Amino acid sequence: MSQAEGKRRSGDKAAEYVTEGSIVGVGTGSTVAFFIEALGRMKDRIEGAVSSSEQSTRLLKEHGIAVLDLNATGTLDLYVDGADECDRHNRLIKGGGGALTREKIIAEASRRFVCIIDASKQVELLGKFPVPIEVIPMARSLVARRIAEMRGQPVWREGTVTDNGNWILDVHHWQITDPVALERELNQITGVVSVGLFARRAADVVIVDGVVR
């Protein structure tokens, strides 16, 4: 099966978790684009979506789905999003598309997080994919120095500005044996907005190539 086919199957399968009349949290990325297509086919049966990025907002609107403000919706029943890496405990690296902060907010605001991936995203140990960290622009070098002290190799994703007006550092060469502890430690660095490790709030359900794992 091609990677694109795996993503499409996972996006389609996730639509089975959407309930009548609900508001769905929607992530960002090429796998989520397939989910949005599936959501478009059932748009008359949902109230709308909360979007994690300008990119997904555009896609949702193209499919005729109302985009709602999280401040007005309260807790969501369901959040569907992709990932860059997923370990056997459903802990994730996310943010390859740069939308990690809003993704984390919606994941946190949702009762159930369904992660949709293709088989290539499954790993034994998180960290081969660089960990994205969104930073306040003026704190970029400060945060990079702190990360270097933690034996990470931060690379500035130059030219990328997040939907929140911030910058991203991608941290290479971390073998992440304790993702919860690392996430906590990174969150404490002044200037860090959010961390692309979803370990404390891991996925509840993981769908791989269209099959629930």
Catalytic residues: 103
Q: Which two tokens stand for residue 76?
A: 């969501």
- Closest listed residue to residue 207, CA positions, set 75, 26, 27, 83: 83
Residue of 51, 84, 104, 207 that binds ligand 5RP (CB under 6 A): 84
Site for ligand 5RP contains 51 (CB under 6 A) = no
Stretch that binds ligand 5RP, among 21-29, 139-147, 163-171, 183-191 (CB under 6 A): 21-29
Residue 80 DSSP SS3: strand
Q: Which two tokens stand for residue 70?
A: 């999280």
Site for ligand 5RP contains 25 (CB under 6 A) = no
Distance in angstroms (rounded) separating the CA atoms of residues 25 and 156: 29
Q: Which residues inside 31-50 make contact with ligand 5RP, applying CB under 6 A?
A: 31
13 is in an annotated binding site: no
Element of type H or E holding 6 = helix 3-14
Stretch that binds ligand 5RP, among 29-37, 139-147, 163-171, 176-184 (CB under 6 A): 29-37
Q: Which two tokens stand for residue 156?
A: 């500035």
Site for ligand 5RP contains 99 (CB under 6 A) = yes
- Closest listed residue to residue 66, CA positions, set 47, 52, 92: 47
**Closer residue to ligand 5RP, CB minimum distance, 30 or 149:** 30
What's the distance, CA 51 to chain centroid?
11
Q: Which residues inside 166-195 make contact with ligand 5RP, applying CB under 6 A?
A: none
Site for ligand 5RP contains 127 (CB under 6 A) = no
Site for ligand 5RP contains 6 (CB under 6 A) = no
159 is in an annotated binding site: no
85-86 sheet: strands from edge to edge: 85-86, 92-93, 197-198
Q: Which residues are annotated as a binding site?
A: 28-31, 81-84, 94-97, 121
Residues binding ligand 5RP (CB under 6 A): 27-31, 81-84, 94-100, 103
